[in-house]
Structure 1
């Protein structure tokens, strides 16, 4: 039996340092970025934020410090599980989502000819690809060189990327290229987290839920595009492995033309309540990004709620990883808002509070 006792004890202590709702309100009430920083310097973020501001000026330095703090925190969690092979493997699966984020960031930078230093600023070395490897990838001159480097390092993502590269060169459709990466990531994560224990099932459920919601977002985006639905084949855009959205249902929902129709077709799924709530924002803003934000909130809230699940397994670690990530994102949003003088209520509206 895998022992999560030591790791959970350490993570519970780390959980106690997460910001309370009242402290978030204090940060929101800060009149400007300087006052925000005065408050932040009284927290465990102080050291990393100050280092970040030596490296970059203003809000960029704050973001660098927040990112460094989060990455270091996740590295510590990995060390707490060194004597628990099951835990180490499952935590790697959870953290590997940042590998996907980083590869997409690098590919987008190459696709749009973004300066290398701007790409590096956006990288989050919290997955299996460490900072040195990511920096080397970011310095490559083209997408193919990145893929070849991944293949040389025997990184599993290189194989599907190699296959998708030929279509990318022909079409220059980066979204399709990224879809190849997403599809492989989910299948790879499901395979690595396969097992019979409650811990395996918990991680599998998180991944399967994300697969479903990724497919839902694909459908919602398609509904806003001008497509000849008799000619267009949506099947290549479906990602297998979800909890509720089968390929047959995906194709059935694709035939629907309106966002509201797709949401109503999902009435008997776990996701209907959050999608129904998201419709109100969609009607106001007129973009599916409003729904996408609600889906992100749902994923965060469901995963952070695992703090109340099995106290002896991986649930607490999983919940903390998401809570820490969400806190970091919230702090970045507040910092950026204060930097440009955004009204407090608008900043708060952009936060996910759990």
Structure 2
């Protein structure tokens, strides 16, 4: 099993050719019904995962399971190509979904959503075992959920404990989420040996700091909300929180966005561009894998949106606007 990227990237380039391109997505958008949409997908490489979706009485839950199975199988296949340091770096990329899942579990517990609703919202591409996620989602409080992650030995266990403590101290979800961010990026930067991976993680951190600064605009600057590891130091974050983007000019679109939804769209575009640029500039490093995983995540998200639109008979142009946002 290789500890370098030459072999891994060769295999991932083959996988990239099997992503659904513009023509396939256009066919899915053009489908006249939900059943026709499913038929389109059964004519793609997703076909092995789609059997349950066409059973009598099947609906959106079956589609979600099929897409989740496909994403999980894809991430595990990529991880299976690697060993040693390369494997640990790829795991760091997959842990981005662990970070999202831990936030989802924490929000669900705080808001009392219930285990099943939480589990339905999880992304199956991370590195935390499904059984651990299920147990954490069934917790009655954040401390219990953090203990479950700690027992599993996962690298983000410390971050989850710190997040639970932060929420207990302030009662603010933002403090909880930032503590998880800080823990994830602390671990990721310790693992990353690849220069392009460190550069991409730095860009992610810049974007996250911009989103935090936007959400706290008009409030006193709180240095505890700063996520270190990007191009800004604590003083630079303070300037960013005051609207000065001179240290990271590309995040201006996030601060200037008129709504949170548009700010998140701007953030995704910045990171998509960063992944493509790193893939082009470092063809023998982690960039190819990073770009592929982002494209796969986008593919699955778009198919979920199209599937829901077709299931509820929404106008095609309305679905298209949401998919292309």
TM-score using structure 1 length: 0.83
Cα distance in 1 for residues equivalent to 2:152 and 2:56: 30
Match of 2:100 in 1: 101
- Aligned 1:238-253 pairs, distance under 5 A: 238-243=226-231, 245-253=232-240
Change (3 A) 1:222 1:141: closer
Equivalence for 1:258: none
Partners of 2:26 and 2:10 in 1: how far apart?
29
For the aligned residue pairs, the C-alpha RMSD in angstroms reads: 2.5
Residue 218 in 1 paired to residue 212 in 2? yes
State whether structure 2 residue 201 is matched by structure 1 residue 207: yes
- Answer yes or no: is 1:139 the counterpart of 2:138: yes
Match of 1:29 in 2: 30
Matched, 1:320 2:307: no
CA spacing shift, 1:53–1:309, aligned 2, 3 Å? farther
Give the conservation status (yes or no) of the 8 Å contact 1:304–1:320. no
Report whether the alignment pairs 1:234 with 2:222: yes
**Structure 1 counterpart SS, 2:139:** coil
Q: What is the Cα deviation at residue 164 of structure 1?
A: 4.0
After superposition, give the CA deviation of every residue in 1:251-273 in whole Å (9 maximum; x if it has no partner): 12333xxxxxx3xx32564515x
Q: Distance in 1 between matches of 2:71 and 2:57?
A: 18
Alignment match of 1:343 (pick from 292, 305, 315): 315
CA gap 1:77/1:329 in 2 versus in 1, 3 angstroms: same
* Per-residue deviation, 1:240: 0.9
Residue 245 of structure 2 corresponds to 266
Describe the shift of the 1:112–1:246 C-alpha distance in structure 2 as closer, same or farther (beyond 3 A): same
How far off its partner does 1:207 sit?
0.7
Question: In structure 2, the residue corresponding to 1:351 is in which secondary structure?
Answer: helix
Task: Give the 3 Å change call, closer, same or farther, for CA 248–177 of structure 1 in structure 2.
Answer: same
Give a deviation string over 1:114-150, Cα, whole Å, max 9, x none. 1212211222232221212212222223221111122
Q: Choose which of 245, 248, 253 in structure 2 pairs with 1:275.
A: 253
Equivalent in the alignment of 2:283? 311
User: Is the CA contact 1:102–1:124 (under 8 Å) kept in the aligned structure 2?
Assistant: yes
SS at match of 2:230: coil
Instruction: Give per-residue Cα distances to partners, 1:297-334, cap 9 Å, x unaligned.
Output: 22123213444333333222221111111111111111
CA pair 189-30 structure 1, distance change in 2 beyond 3 A: same
Match of 1:10 in 2: 11
Paired residue secondary structure (1:96): helix
2:145 and 2:77 map into 1 onto residues whose CA distance is 29
**1:151 corresponds to which residue?**
150
How many residues get paired? Answer: 324
> For 1:103-122, what aligned pairs fall within 5 Å after superposition?
103-122=102-121
TM-score (norm 2): 0.90
1:186 aligns with 2:185: yes
